[in-house]
Structure 1
């Protein structure tokens, strides 16, 4: 059993090799820093000016269908394109290294209702989102080996549209985070003969200090090495490497876990909790992926209230990440938050 850790110490992120400095005493310091403006607005279920609402025109002039659940389209301003036009101009040497990057970027509308975020959808509606993630992964896996499914929620996370939506970017190069996680998981497997995240799940279940949601197929924890105040890690308890392997029961169980986790987020400060979240699947260009386990990261920036945001500056940018709240304390706060959304209570 881990001790209370209410003293300054460092923790290592076993997935990417980075360290985080934990300084619990700093959480009691007076706050005179910047705050974010509260953005708890009442939205209509349909916004005639929203390019993501059913029936509306997007920036490229195309119209959205009158969709009832989810809707997917190629991002009108995607960061990746299938073809690279100026490949010949790319030069690379020991000091200046570059390579072509091609792929595709898509937008996934979670719901036709402009006013509802993920925790406000029903479990069956979230299941539609999960099924869409799987279907998109299966389709893109025919062409790309590295597929990122993610959501930026909230204005302070750079989300340009309040309509509930996420994105999916796919390419054939190994993204930096995926490469780091692959190397760490492979190293652990070669040393111990077991999956790193399988062993990590067993350890979290035995200690019971950082668990937020635990159902038949999924476990959500504040990871031992969390750097964001209320960061969570959502892990598949089954031996699943990618979204393609999820069966109907596992997908429904995931919808239930997502519902509870995101409700708890909103209930911490009675606000629509911002975050960036994303799925890490095993890359599809490897011969053997037995060291991998499907998981998702949630990185929320809120620290003390709905308006106080954690900024990664100074020491965090120049040395290593630092947090004031221990993972165990953050987990206790999230665990004790109600499973009933504050708007419905």
Structure 2
């Protein structure tokens, strides 16, 4: 029997944020790929598209016209998944049939008037305006009595279901706490009650000592590949200070978040020299008016690409029926991302 080696042998890793496990099978990375191959969509986009419903000055599907905005712009989603006018009610037929009405507000954030730019191609000062808007929206929506959680997220790329290439994100603010941050709340609270410290604060300290999965650092944030990462190039941005929610961030921290957000996505684009798709979102304390010292602000990035710009990781079969599984180890992914240039590949071609 060979000595156990996590870089070569199958094993499971524990996710302390959710209490769940991921199966890691590094030996499978050597298998030939004969599955689906994605098309690369790298068309040249104009600075302004007259047919884009997110571009400045254009009319949206609902009939509203966007202003001639110069940096960021936010509006209520014309096809919102949640609204405040929903009828209130519930179904409660014992333990097996339950339903409850849900109220909320859905908004769209345009990152830039430029149709042809994404976060890694924007200046840090312009990304900072996105972070400023996140904070403003969190404070405004989180202070509403009907809202108990504000979920800010971005879907980038058609492979992630993004229906419009204009650089944008979304905010879904709702009356209940969604499942993923709710799971983290349970784990964070238990850890804080036991140690009087945040789980992510202690985890980040250990990661900074090990240096195996650290990608980028600045004075206020760290980007890393989580020990328990599920997606091949999954990453997290964690605040050094135990910030509970966006409203607590100062100007230096907002600029630092903007810088590391941009730097991380540059490395993503450089990995396969393509506009790298992902779903990303901020997890922060509920906006229920309570103090949450156990919470520690962080941002998840879940990109689907596996071996190249054309090979996607699918969560099917065992992943759907058993638990998540990955082939390349988080340490290998971290080394590949860490070794990439901090200069965007398109700038290198100029």
Give the TM-score normalised by the residue count of structure 2. Answer: 0.96
Residue 105 of structure 2: aligned partner? 104
Contact 1:92/1:99, CA 8 A, preserved across alignment: no
Corresponding residue number in structure 2 for 1:138? 139
Structure 1 residues 128, 92: closer, same or farther in 2, change over 3 A?
A: farther
Pick which of 189-198 and 301-310 moved more. Answer: 189-198
Q: Does 2:76 correspond to 1:74?
A: yes
The question of whether the paired residues in 2 share the 8 Å contact of 1:241 and 1:292 is answered with yes
Secondary structure of 2:343's counterpart equals coil
Partner of 1:168: 171
User: Counterparts of 1:92 and 1:112 in 2: how far apart (Å)?
Assistant: 50
**Offset at 1:288?**
3.4
Against the structure 1 CA distance between its residues 168 and 92, is the aligned structure 2 distance closer, same or farther, given a 3 Å change threshold? farther
Q: 1:179 aligns with which of 177, 182, 196?
A: 182
Matched, 1:326 2:325: no
- Structure 2 residue runs of 5 or longer lacking an equivalent are none
Partner residue, 1:200: 203
Q: For residue 53 of structure 1, what is the aligned residue in structure 2? A: 55
Structure 1 partner of 2:41: 39
SS class of match (1:267)? helix
Matched, 1:121 2:118: no
Q: Distance in 1 between matches of 2:220 and 2:116?
A: 30
CA gap of 1:92–1:237, structure 2 versus 1, over 3 A, is farther
Residue aligned with 1:303, SS: strand
- Does residue 11 of the first structure (1) align with residue 16 of the second (2)? no
Conserved 8 A contact 1:107-1:167: yes
What is the TM-score normalised by the length of structure 1?
0.97
Say how many residue pairs are matched. Answer: 343
Which region of structure 1 is more displaced relative to structure 2, 184-193 or 52-61?
184-193
CA shift at 1:35, angstroms?
Answer: 1.1
- Where 2:12 maps in the other structure, the secondary structure is strand
Alpha-carbon displacement from aligned partner over 1:216-266 (angstroms, at most 9, x marks no partner): 000110000000000001101012100000000000011110111000000
Q: C-alpha deviations, 1:23-44, integer Å up to 9, x for none?
A: 0000010000001111011000
CA distance in 2 between counterparts of 1:248 and 1:271 reads 32
Moved segments of 4+, more than 4 Å: none
Partner residue in 2 for 1:216: 219
1:286 deviates by 6.0
Instruction: Please list the CA deviations of residues 94-145 of structure 1 after superposition, one character each: whole Å capped at 9, or x if unmatched.
Output: 1011111010000000000000011000000100111011111111011122
Is the Cα contact below 8 Å between 1:92 and 1:98 reproduced in 2?
Answer: no
Whose strand proportion is higher, 1 or 2? 2
Matched, 1:248 2:254: no
Which of 179, 189, 196 lines up with 2:192 in the alignment? 189
Q: Secondary structure at the match of 1:337?
A: coil
The C-alpha deviation readout for 1:63-101, integer Å capped at 9, x for no partner, is: 00000000000000010011223x347444310111110
Larger mean Cα displacement after TM superposition, 227-236 or 189-198: 189-198
